[in-house]
Amino acid sequence: MEYESIIFERDGGVAIITLNRPQAVNALTYRLIEEFLDALARIAEDETVRAVVITGAGRGFCSGDSLTGMEPVTMDLPPGRHPMQERQQRLIKTLRGLPKPVIAMINGHCYGAGSDIALASDFRIAGESARLGDIRTSRAITLSTGAPYLLPQIVGVAKAVELLFTGDTMDAREAERIGLVNKTVPDAELRAATMQLANRLAQGPTKAIGIAKTLIYGEQHMNLEQALDHQYAYRWMTVRDGEEGRKSFIEKRQPHFTGH
């Protein structure tokens, strides 16, 4: 697929997806989502990609849905399903299910469905000028792309209720204080800080990280017994990097992982 609404780049073992509709603060269209999904499929199949960064071009990460760019499409869907929501939900599920670490590099506005993309990522690093929030409920727009499930897991139920009911937005420092973002840095340092983390993860045991990601997100609503059984089932998966991890520990040196 030829990309028009995203930029797909590689920096060593890190893939960088940039939402590229800066004139619309990277609001989501059908085309952008399809390109995003295509890039994620390429990443999933490419063993040399060991970490992913998502960001936005220009002055924002993503302002949410495009009110004018969701052109009609024909899809064979069950009654009650909408093509826009179908694509958006597929994107959120793909991000969460990708067995590689995903970092949202949040610059500028991060609202609505754009916030859901950040919430579905494994890490969120924000520039200090970023603003985050979700005004949809306060504008009588129903939520269908992840926020009611994802946000309480990150900031707790009480804070999620407050944010989603009121539609209040916040700056990056407040987002860091409540745990919505992992780290806030000066805007000029955002890319360097994000890539430092991305490269660290890309040099790590990618397969083991992918298993940990599956376990963490898959066990959110299990009891302890169920969670332990779930973990036991994955205990027997072959992780070749495990031998290097043990050997490097014994030899008191830094490990050199292959991601397998």
Cα 197 to Cα 68, 123, 163, 188, 200, distances in angstroms: 36, 9, 28, 16, 5
Could you count the other beta carbons within 10 Å of the beta carbon of residue 259?
Answer: 21
Q: pTM to 2 decimals?
A: 0.92
pLDDT at residue 42 above 60? yes
Mean pLDDT of the chain: 93
Q: What whole-number distance in Å separates Cα of residue 70 and Cα of residue 29?
A: 5
The answer to whether 112 and 136 have CB atoms below 8 angstroms apart is yes
Q: Which of 47-51, 67-71, 197-201, 254-258 has the lowest mean pLDDT?
A: 67-71
The pLDDT of 67-82, averaged and rounded, is: 57
pLDDT at residue 238 above 90? no
Specify the higher pLDDT residue, 68 or 45.
45
Q: What whole-number distance in Å separates Cα of residue 223 and Cα of residue 229?
A: 10
pLDDT at residue 236 above 90? no
What share of the chain has pLDDT > 90, as a percent? 84
Say which DSSP state 28 is in.
Answer: B
Token output for 222 = 């299990």
Q: How far is CA 197 from the centre of its chain?
A: 14
Q: What is the structure's pLDDT at 230?
A: 93
